[in-house]
Chain A
Amino acid sequence: MGRPPRERPTALSASDIPPAAPSPRARRGGVGWDASMFAFILAAVLAQAPVAPVEPGPPTPDAGAPEAALPVPISALPPATHELFQRIQGRVAQVRIIERRSGTRSSIGSAFFVSAAGHAVTNYHVVSDVVIHPEDYTAELVLSGSPEPVPVRLVDVDVVHDLAVIQMGTPVTDFFALEDREPPQGARLFAMGNPRDLGTTIVEGTYNGFIQDALYERLHFSGAINPGMSGGPTLTGEGRVVGINVATMGNQVGFLVPVRYARELLARALKETAADPQALLDRVRAQLMDNQERLTERLMEAPLPKQALGGYQVPGRWSPFLKCWGDTPHDPEVPYTVTNYQCSSEEDIYVSSNHRTGVVAYLHQHATSQKLGALRFSALYSALFAQDPDAVEATRQDVTNYRCKSEFVDVGGLPVRAALCLRAYRKFPGLYDVVLRAATLNAGTSGVDTSLTLAGFTADNGRKIARRYLEGLSWTK
Chain B
Amino acid sequence: MDEVIFLEVLEGDAVHARHRLERFPVSVGRGYSNDVILDDPKVSPEHLRIERREDGVLMLRDVGSHNGTFRVEPWAPLAELELTPDTRVAVGDTVLRFRPRNHPVEDTVVGPAPTAPRPRVFEQPRTFALALAALVGASLLEGYLTNYGRTDWGELTVAVVAPLALMFVWAGGWSVASRIARRQFHYRTHAAIGTLVLLGSIVIPALLTLVGFSLALGGGLPGVHYLAFLGLMGWGLYWHLRYVTRWDPRRLMRVLVVVTLVFGALSRAGDWLGNEGFSEGLDFPRTLLPPAFRLARAQPVEDFFEDTAGLQEQVDALTKEE
Residues of chain A touching chain B, judged by Cβ–Cβ distance below 8 Å, are 32, 333-336, 369, 372, 374-383, 385-386, 388, 391, 394-396, 400-411, 415-426, 429, 432, 435, 437, 439, 441-444, 447, 459, 463, 466-467, 470-471
> Are the CB atoms of A379 and B278 closer together than 8 Å?
no
Known: A374-B290, A409-B301. A404 touches B307 (CB 8 A): no
Which of these, A379, A420, A425, A471, contacts B146 with CB under 8 Å? A379
A336 and B298 in contact, given A382-B286, A404-B283, A407-B216 (Cβ under 8 angstroms):
no
Interface centre among A335, A439, A463 (most CB of B within 10 A): A463
Is B273 on the interface with A (CB-CB < 8 A)? Answer: no
State which residues 291-318 of B face A: CB under 8 Å: 291-292, 294, 296-301, 304-305, 307-308, 310-312, 314-316, 318
A-B contacts counted at CB < 8 A amount to 156
A468 and chain B: residue at smallest CB distance: B301
Residue of A nearest to B290 (CB): A374
Measured CA separation A42–B149 after assembly (Å): 25
Shortest CB–CB separation between residue A215 and chain B, in angstroms? 23
A233 to chain B, nearest CB (A): 37
In the complex, are the beta carbons of A422 and B297 less than 8 A apart? no
- Assembly CA distance A53 to B218 (angstroms): 49
* Bound Cα distance A405, B219 (Å): 9
Q: Which residue of A lies closest to B295 (CB)?
A: A408
Classify the secondary structure of B's interface with A: loop
Q: How many residues of B contact A (CB 8 A)?
A: 44
Cβ contact within 8 Å between A421 and B284: yes
25 pairs across A/B with beta carbons < 8 Å? A375-B290, A376-B145, A378-B288, A379-B147, A379-B148, A380-B148, A382-B287, A383-B148, A388-B281, A388-B282, A396-B278, A402-B280, A402-B281, A403-B318, A406-B218, A408-B216, A409-B300, A415-B294, A420-B304, A421-B284, A423-B315, A424-B312, A435-B282, A441-B291, A463-B308
| The one of A407, A416, A421, A432 that contacts B307, using a Cβ cutoff of 8 Å | A407
In the complex, the answer to whether A424 meets B318 with C-beta atoms within 8 Å is: yes
B308 touches A422 (CB 8 A): yes
Instruction: Tell me whether B246 is interfacial, beta carbon within 8 Å.
Output: no
Q: Is the interface of A mostly helix, strand, loop or mixed?
A: mixed
Q: Does B279 count as interface, using CB distance less than 8 angstroms?
A: yes
**CB <8 Å contact, A376 and B148:** yes
Given the known interface contacts A403-B314, A405-B307, A410-B300, the answer about A439 and B288 at a Cβ–Cβ threshold of 8 Å is: yes
Rank and list the top 9 A-B pairs by shortest CB-CB distance, nearest first. Answer: A380-B148, A410-B298, A400-B318, A396-B278, A391-B280, A386-B286, A374-B290, A424-B315, A404-B284
Residues of A within 8 A of B278 (CB): 395-396, 401
Q: At the interface, yes or no: B289 with Cβ under 8 Å from chain A?
A: yes
Q: Is A419 touching B147 in the complex (CB atoms < 8 A)?
A: no
